[in-house]
Chains A and B, each alone.
Chain A
Amino acid sequence: MTDRTTLSHLDLETPEKPFLDANELVINMGPQHPATHGVLRVILRLDGEKVLGLECVIGYLHRGVEKIGEHRTYTMFNPYVDRMDYVAAVSNGLGYCETVEKLLHVEAPPRAQHVRVILTELNRLASHQLWLGTHALDIGAITPLFYTFRDREEILKIFEKYCGARLTTHAFRIGGLQYETYAGFEQEVKNFLTFLKPKIDEYEELLTTNRIWVERTKDVGRISAADCIGLGVTGPVLRASGVKWDLRKAQPYACYKNFDFEIPIGENGDTYDRYLVRMAEMRQSVRIIEQAVDALPEGPIMAKVPKVMKPAAGEVYHSIEAPKGELGYFIVSDGSTQPYRVRVRPPSFVNLQALDIMCRGQLVGDVIAVIGTLDIVLGEVDR
């Protein structure tokens, strides 16, 4: 099962010893396939049921977000970033706003920073819930989907009440927030956390010791820490391979340094460990939100930013820990109202590159499990 090749064998042309004396079979999976979480096409090279290698064909959702950025003002481009990772739109917005704030040399006021952390962590919960539901569904467990979507709804309700949108929220503005929190916001978030905590236990009860789940995920899609680093894989996938690295701790942004939380890590770097890491991360997010709500300061929600934003010429790279991994923005300003270049460093795109090495030597059915465990969003892969 663990017949995996080294990094030097990334291309598909590499000759490999056949597992059985049979002809090699090339089959196509996708682009319209329920388990690829979007329009992803995978060309599989098989020997019987064993995967010899695979190639991803992407770009079906390419909308040219980076090009659009060059033709919009800094403010106008803000809603576009929500459409990349559409299940974690708040994180995208946070990364973008903070990068432009760096270019403008402004910092959001403390109250805005706290609200940002609360909403971003709520979004991380929502993203992980969506991941858990769909990943379990792919593997054949239908119930978790109903549980997680039922509970995710409560988060979306908070978003809707706060900014009017459920998915593509455009919750933040450059320099802070547009809207003050609504009356009863703190209480509602607290109530939600009290509601959610036993629900996370419930998800775990369904899966963690479930024999079918364990058999389908243990030792499937293993990746070592060295391979993760070499391939630039970040987020829960990297942490499940045993690397204790989280940008919220390593290079704290917003006001994460005020809060006390752990970085959960795994040992084996297999699908089961990635599941455990994400479950533990949800509990940590709950902890962060609790602290942020309690510490929510009074004060302004918007820094002093000019109506017409013209950052001084220069370039800045800033990244945040999105639910999927390191989400970076590299913005070049030429001193005008529009960015000269916006580059998005998407975690899903870079993580997807590891699919080949993770699937080699596995069975066809495991490819589905590995795509699910990578937690990709094709809107972000293709941009």
Chain B
Amino acid sequence: MVAKLKRMYGSGVEPLTYTGQNYMIVDRSLIPEILQVLRNEEQFDYCVDITAVHYPQREKQFDLVWVLYSFARNERIRVKTLIADGATVESSVPIWPTANWLEREVFDMFGIRFDGHPDMKRILLPEEWKGHPLRKDYGILQQDNEWVQINLGIESGQ
């Protein structure tokens, strides 16, 4: 399967393996197409998880990761793409409805927006909260002090 994708997309797809787990690094522009192919032709019908990792020192700051599973093949694969801060990615809600909340969580925690998402808003934090906590530049004790002061009435904001 990976060989086929490699043949189709050339240098845009780089298949890798670590501790027996397959994943591939895919060029951002190919993401919508490759996810579609994985879903429709390779039977990866279950989107397990969508998440991100922040590397602030890199030029393309974020790793965006899809964990996919195929019931028919009993096989897992991870698709990974590197994107810059502020860049957006096509939403995969039309491919897997479960992506709805998972993408909202990525947006909430990292500030990565998904194009064409039906309801792109925060999910765990309050809507007016400032900042995205899982970015590396967000301190572990940091809070949106203003929000805490206004909504919880705590003077110190902590």
Q: Indicate the size class of the contact surface on chain A.
A: 35 or more
Report A's interface with B, CB cutoff 8 A.
7, 10-11, 58-59, 62, 64, 66-68, 70-71, 102-103, 105, 229-233, 243, 245, 250-251, 314-317, 319, 326, 328, 330, 332, 340-341, 343, 345, 349-350, 353, 382-383
Binds A, one of B29-37, B122-130, B144-152: B122-130
Q: Which of A11, A102, A103, A328 is close to B49, meaning CB atoms less than 8 Å apart?
A: A328
How far, in whole Å, are A245 and B71 apart by their CA atoms in the complex? 8
Chain A residues near B122 (CB, 8 Å)? 59
CB B53 to nearest CB in A, in angstroms, measures: 5
Report B's interface with A, CB cutoff 8 A.
18-19, 21, 23, 45-49, 51, 53-54, 65, 67, 71, 74, 76, 78, 96-98, 100-102, 105, 109, 118-119, 122-126, 133-134, 138, 140
A317 touching B97, Cβ below 8 Å? no
A315 touching B67, Cβ below 8 Å? no
A315 touching B71, Cβ below 8 Å? no
Chain B residues near A245 (CB, 8 Å)? 71
Residues A317 and B21 in contact in the complex (CB < 8 Å), given A232-B47, A328-B67, A353-B98: yes
CB B34 to nearest CB in A, in angstroms, measures: 18
Chain B residues near A326 (CB, 8 Å)? 48
Interface of A is mostly: mixed
CB A338 to nearest CB in B, in angstroms, measures: 12
How far, in whole Å, are A141 and B84 apart by their CA atoms in the complex? 54
A232 touching B96, Cβ below 8 Å? yes
How far, in whole Å, are A323 and B118 apart by their CA atoms in the complex? 31
A314 touching B126, Cβ below 8 Å? no
Chain B residues near A328 (CB, 8 Å)? 48-49, 67
Chain B residues near A66 (CB, 8 Å)? 109, 134
B51 touching A343, Cβ below 8 Å? yes
CB A361 to nearest CB in B, in angstroms, measures: 18
Chain B residues near A319 (CB, 8 Å)? 48
Chain B residues near A316 (CB, 8 Å)? 18-19, 21
Residues A58 and B123 in contact in the complex (CB < 8 Å), given A317-B21, A326-B48: yes
